[in-house]
Amino acid sequence: MAPAYGKNAMARTLQRVTSIDAHVRVFVAENDPGHVQIAYNVTDALSAAGKHVSLTIYPPYRNNGHELFFVVHEPYWSDLLAFLGETIGHR
């Protein structure tokens, strides 16, 4: 889940990334209004703090890329399962 911009929540969150120990994978669709920049900001902050982070930008999805994540499906689902398999293992 991404923090919202309200009351400087995003800025405060990005200042505290040093406490994150887990690998992070950021997914966003190219046509997700406003969220592409958020994805870059999060990725940059984590990377600058020396954290394990990767960013995947998917091609535009329909008229609003945010809708890509409304249901479980490709193209992101297999990427998410692969990430979880690599980081926490198959259970």
Does pLDDT of 1 surpass 50? Answer: no
Kindly indicate the confidence band of residue 5, based on its pLDDT and cuts at 50, 70 and 90. Answer: low
- Model-level pTM? 0.87
- pLDDT tens-digit profile of 14-58? 889 999 999 999 999 999 988 999 999 999 999 999 999 999 999
Measured in whole angstroms, the distance separating CA 90 from the mean position of its chain's CA atoms is 21
Would you state the structure tokens that stand for residue 35, as one six-digit string? 């969220």
DSSP calls for 15-34: HTGGG--S-EEEEEETT-TT
Rounded Cα distance, 57 and 43, in Å: 12
**Which amino acid appears at position 68 of this protein?**
L
Reading the block at residue 1, the tokens are 């889940």
Rounded to whole angstroms, the Cα distance separating 34 from 55 reads 15
